[in-house]
Amino acid sequence: MEGIRAMIVTMESDAGNLATEQVTSMLRSRGYEVHLLAGSGASAIGINGRPVADDLGPALCALPGVAGVHTPSRPYRLAARETRPAGTVVQIGDVAIGGPEPVVIAGPCVVEGREQLLRAAEAVRDAGAVMLRGGAFKPRTSPYSFQGLGEDGLRLLAEARELTGLPVVTEVMEPEQVDIVAEHADVLQIGSRNMMNFPLLRRVARTDRAILLKRGFASTIEEWLLSAEYILAGGNDRVILCERGIRSFDPATRFSLDLNAVPLVRELSHLPVIVDPSHGTGRRELVASMALAGIAAGAHGLIIEALPNPDLAACDAPQSITPDVLAGIVSQSRAIRALLQPRLAAVA
């Protein structure tokens, strides 16, 4: 093994903290850099830094609670499926992303005001969504477009959570915003434009919040998983991947929703993956079809732009749907997932 500079230790699902601490202590005493995944599935320990000694693997396997030791075959080590073969389930309150039930996150693109948000929150809850989305800090292509309400928007999202019981997902754009956003939100979204903002990825990794990592619209799947690796290496294993479409040559839709990515990522990684059919199409008449296609492809959930009066939305009106359409997506998603569950369970 001499010359190898990375290994992964997988722990038994019932291995306690003491067994994990024994492994990490032994590794650190030998001078290795250790990255621990724990909390959202069976513990796994990444070993990095100095070349791996020949006796390290057998020594680790002899410790209680160790299920196995392997050398990573891919550049993303902690995100790889073999690191946590049974998969990761990210728990957010009563919502489990990565389990057998499809999770639907819905709400307006951007928080415009109190009445708009509270009405939308109640409407998407009644339609069957289990989490609320809404932008307080909103990246826009034009500097003259509405950029969101900032901290006032965060406070309104927290109020909507109190009213409806829905956990809140909202975007964070800069490392300096992380603390204030984490104070109000349950899930921190890293948008497509920031997928490779490595200082931001390192900063959100230090929070105890779940992270929704959107694929960059010009990024490969490997680049996407390596961005997730930054968060995992920072000690946060509560990462949810989101396929939201990639840029293509055809202007007929806003982006091309890459549903190839869903089963492929489930094969390559243990992290849960959801689909954004709103940004993936940019056209509300296509959202329901592509949402259901995403579930059929194996997505663990959806994130959708929906509100009572989508035509009046200040941002992304053409791709926003009504609560009635959302309700149909929720019920049909559950039916599709129930039908396909035996096949999907084989992938984890």
Region 311-321: mean pLDDT is 91
| 186 and 331 housed in the same domain | yes
Region 67-71: mean pLDDT is 90
| 129 and 20 housed in the same domain | no
Q: Is residue 85 assigned to a domain?
A: no
Lowest average pLDDT, out of 286-290, 305-309, 311-315, goes to 311-315
Domain final residue pick, 71, 105, 121 = 71
| 23 and 151 housed in the same domain | no
291 pLDDT exceeds 50? yes
Q: Is residue 232 assigned to a domain?
A: yes
| 111 and 66 housed in the same domain | no
Domain final residue pick, 71, 103, 120 = 71
What is the domain extent for residue 20? 6-71
| 241 and 141 housed in the same domain | yes
1 pLDDT exceeds 50? no
* pLDDT for position 187: 98
Q: What is the CATH number of the domain that holds 325?
A: 3.20.20.70
| 201 and 55 housed in the same domain | no
Q: Is residue 281 assigned to a domain?
A: yes
Q: Is residue 1 assigned to a domain?
A: no
Beta carbons within 10 angstroms of residue 83's beta carbon:
27
| 168 and 120 housed in the same domain | yes
| 58 and 150 housed in the same domain | no
* pLDDT for position 147: 73
| 30 and 124 housed in the same domain | no
* pLDDT for position 347: 66
| 41 and 189 housed in the same domain | no
Q: Is residue 81 assigned to a domain?
A: no
Q: Is residue 76 assigned to a domain?
A: no
Q: How many structural domains are present in the chain? A: 2
Region 8-36: mean pLDDT is 92
Beta carbons within 10 angstroms of residue 99's beta carbon:
15
| 45 and 114 housed in the same domain | no
pLDDT tens digits along 107-161: 999 999 999 999 999 999 999 999 999 999 977 777 867 778 899 999 999 999 9
Q: Is residue 60 assigned to a domain?
A: yes
| 59 and 208 housed in the same domain | no
